[in-house]
Amino acid sequence: DAKTTQPPSMDCAEGRAANLPCNHSTISGNEYVYWYRQIHSQGPQYIIHGLKNNETNEMASLIITEDRKSSTLILPHATLRDTAVYYCIVRTTSGTYKYIFGTGTRLKVLA
């Protein structure tokens, strides 16, 4: 599975959009991009995933560049409860698979 690179930390003002980048320059055509977050002391929580097209759900939006080498997770109106570590993961769509977590981005939402 391709490796991902994320900034170690980011701050965001409450009510503003939080844009979390992820680089996955070695991604293959059959690999999805997944985003999870981990709020302190809890298990990682699924947010969103995509293959080629941009995706949106009730939690966030995922923007994937046309060459698929990078993506951005957007939390449109960040709240204090969005403070967490956000993980970007790529994994294959076929065969045996593993979710390999990197170090993620520690997002702090400021009041």
Partner 1 sequence: DAGVIQSPRHEVTEMGQEVTLRCKPISGHNSLFWYRQTMMRGLELLIYFNNNVPIDDSGMPEDRFSAKMPNASFSTLKIQPSEPRDSAVYFCASSTGNTIYFGEGSWLTVV
Positions that interact with partner 1 (CB under 8 A): 34, 38, 41-46, 49, 87, 96, 98-103
Q: What is the closest distance, in whole angstroms, from the C-beta atom of residue 8 to partner 1 in the complex?
A: 12
Task: Compare residues 100 and 110 and give the one whose CB is closer to partner 1.
Answer: 100
Q: What is the closest distance, in whole angstroms, from the C-beta atom of residue 43 to partner 1 in the complex?
A: 3
Task: Compare residues 76 and 102 and give the one whose CB is closer to partner 1.
Answer: 102
Determine contact, residues 33/24, Cβ cutoff 8 Å: yes
Task: Compare residues 50 and 70 and give the one whose CB is closer to partner 1.
Answer: 50
Q: What is the closest distance, in whole angstroms, from the C-beta atom of residue 44 to partner 1 in the complex?
A: 5
In sequence order, what E strands does the chain have?
9-13, 18-23, 31-38, 45-50, 55-56, 61-64, 70-75, 84-92, 105-110
* CA dihedral of residues 21, 16, 77, 53 (deg, nearest 10): -30
